[in-house]
Amino acid sequence: MKIKNTIALAIGVVLASVATNAQTTTFKKDEFKQWAQTPPMGWNSWDCYGSTVEEHEVKANADYMVKNLKKFGWEYVVVDIRWFVENDKAGGYNQTDPRYVIDQYGRYLPALNRFPSAKDGQGFKPLADYIHKKGLKFGIHIMRGIPKKAVEDKLPIKGTNAITADQIYSTALQCEWLKDNYTVVADKPGAQEYYDSLFELYAQWGVDFIKIDDLSRPYHEGEINLIRNAIDKCGRKIVLSTSPGETPIEAAPHVTTHANMWRMVDDVWDTWPHITHLMKVSEKWYPYIAPGTWPDCDMIPLGRISLRGERGEDRMSRLTKDEQYTLITFFNIFKSPLFFGGDLPSNDAFTLSLLTNKEVVKMHNESTDVKQLFQKDGKIAVTSKNPKDGSVYLALFNISDTATETISVDLSDLGISGSAQVTNLWTGEKSAVSSTAISSTLKPHSSVLYQLKAKK
C-alpha cells in the first residue's frame, strides 16, 4: 500500500497563526442542543461526488446555495468522505494503494491536489473562510477511529507526554466496508486526548458541522462519548451527526443526549424501496423528534446525482415526480435534517421548486408534535401542528405499487371540530372541508400535503 505522509514540522505554528476566534470555554452539558434548534439544512457532496469531490466543486455548490437557497434556510456546505486521499476513485473506494495525507499527530489533512487552498498547513480554513464569508456554514465527514497509518508509525498523540497511536487502538469492530482506521478503545489513556486533538484542529479550521461515520451499527457508545467530550471542550459550536445505518432504538436515551442528529437507515438512494423502508423504520423514532436532536432520514437523492458517485452512473434522480414529492414531503413533515445530495448547479426548475416552497419550509422549521396516525395497507398519515398560528399539517401517502387509494383522516384525530380551511402546500390550492373527515384519492407512490385551519 502506498501511503503519503505530509508532516510539516511547522504545522502547529501555521495552524496557530491562522486560527481565529477560537474560544477556550468548555460548553455545558446539553448546550449543544441549542446549536440546532431547527433541523439543519444544507448540501453534502456524497450523492454526486462520492469520495472524489474537489474544492472548485464545493465552491460552486456554495455559490448556488447563496444565490438560490440561503433565504429559505439552507446554510451548511459539507465535504463528505475521504477528503484526505489523493487518489480515490468514483464507484467505490481505492483501498489498494490509497495515498493518505496525515500530520505528525495522526490527523488527516486535506489532499492538496483536490483542495489546493489547504497549502502551507492551512487545512480547510481557507475553504471554510470562503463559505463563511457568504453567510454559510462549513462541514466535513470523518470516519470514527484512528488511522491505521498512525498506528503503524506509532505517531504521538497530541496533548499527551508519551502516548502513541499504537497504544489506544483495537482491530475489533473495525469498519467492514472501509479499512482506513482502527477502533479507538475509549477507556485507554490517550483516547480522549486523540479526539480532543481532532476537534482542536477542526475548530481552528472553522468547522461548523461534522458527520462521523460507522458509529451506529453496532452502536459505539464509548467513542461517541469521547466525541461529545471533545466537541464540548474545543470552544467551537460544531453540530454532530452520527452515521450511518440503522441506529438501534435501544440507543435512543444515549444518542439524544450526545448528538444533534443520527441516521435511522443506511444510505437512501433514488429507488422506491429505499423510501418505503425509511418510512417503516421511522415509525419508532417519532417520539424522539425534538429541538436540537433530530432523527435523520439521510441525504436527499434528488437532482443530478452520481457525477462521480459511489452508486450508479451520472444521472438525474430516477424517482418519478410523484415519488420525489413523496420523498421531500416525508422528509419535511418528519422534521428530518435536510441535506441535498445532488449537484446544485445542475438543478432544473422542478428540483429547485422542491427546495424553495416557503410554506413547506415554514412547516419544517416551526411545526411541533409530529406523529404518525397510521401506516397500514399501503396508506400512511402523518400530522404535526404549528403553535404559532394554530394550524395543523397533514401528509397522506399512498405507498401501494399498483392501487389508487382513497385515504381519509377524521378531523377529530387532528384536534379539529367543525369545518376547516384546507391549503394544498405544494399547489397552493385552497378548499374547505365541512364534514367530519378529510380525504384524498392518490395514485400509487403519490402523496399530498395539507395545512388545515379550523374555521371560527
DSSP characters for 300-337?
A: B--SEE-SS-SSS-SEE--S-HHHHHHHHHHHHHTT--
Which ranges constitute the DSSP H helices of 118-208? 125-133, 148-152, 191-205
pLDDT, position 244: 82
Q: For 426-435, which contacts have Cβ atoms below 8 Å and span 24 or more sequence positions?
A: 426/325, 426/329, 426/357, 426/360, 435/411
Buried b (16+ CB within 10 A) or exposed e, 192-222: bbbbbbbbbbbbbbbbbbbbbbbbbeebbee
Which residue is it, cell 405507498? 399
pTM comes to 0.94
pLDDT, position 443: 98
Helix, strand or coil, per DSSP, at residue 94: coil
pLDDT, position 8: 39
What residue type is 322 in one-letter code?
D
pLDDT, position 24: 59
Q: Which residues are CB-neighbours of 330 under 8 A, at least 6 positions away?
A: 275, 278, 279, 297, 382, 395, 397, 447
pLDDT, position 11: 42
What residue type is 100 in one-letter code?
Y
pLDDT in tens, the chain (456 residues): 444 444 433 344 344 434 434 445 799 999 999 999 999 999 999 999 999 999 999 999 999 999 999 999 999 999 999 999 999 999 999 999 999 999 999 999 999 999 999 999 999 999 999 999 999 999 999 999 999 999 999 999 999 999 999 999 999 999 999 999 999 999 999 999 999 999 999 999 999 999 999 999 899 999 999 999 999 999 999 999 999 879 999 999 999 999 999 999 999 999 999 999 999 999 999 999 999 999 999 999 999 999 998 989 999 999 999 999 999 999 999 999 999 999 999 999 999 999 999 999 999 999 999 999 999 999 999 999 999 999 999 999 999 999 999 999 999 999 999 889 999 999 999 999 988 999 999 999 999 999 999 987
* CA 116 – CA 94 distance, rounded (Å): 21
Q: For 219-223, which contacts have Cβ atoms below 8 Å and span 24 or more sequence positions?
A: 219/247, 219/248, 219/250, 219/251, 219/254, 219/255, 220/144, 220/173, 220/183, 221/251, 221/254, 222/185, 222/186, 222/187, 223/144, 223/145, 223/183, 223/184, 223/186, 223/195
Provide the total of helices (H) and of strands (E) in the chain, helices listed first: 12, 21
Q: Where are the beta strands (DSSP E) in 298-446?
A: 304-305, 315-316, 338-340, 368-376, 379-385, 392-398, 405-410, 420-424, 430-433, 437-442
Helix, strand or coil, per DSSP, at residue 366: helix
| Residue whose C-alpha is closest to residue 257's, from 230, 298, 225 | 225
What residue type is 394 in one-letter code?
L
| Residue whose C-alpha is closest to residue 363's, from 305, 449, 446, 300 | 449
Q: Which fold has domain 31-366?
A: TIM Barrel (3.20.20)
Residue 231 is classified by DSSP as H
CATH number for the region 373-454 comes to 2.60.40.1180
pLDDT, position 332: 98
Q: Beta 294-296 vs 261-263: how paired, if at all?
A: parallel
Q: Domain segments of the chain: what residues?
A: 31-366, 373-454
Helix, strand or coil, per DSSP, at residue 45: coil
Which residue is it, cell 402523496? 447
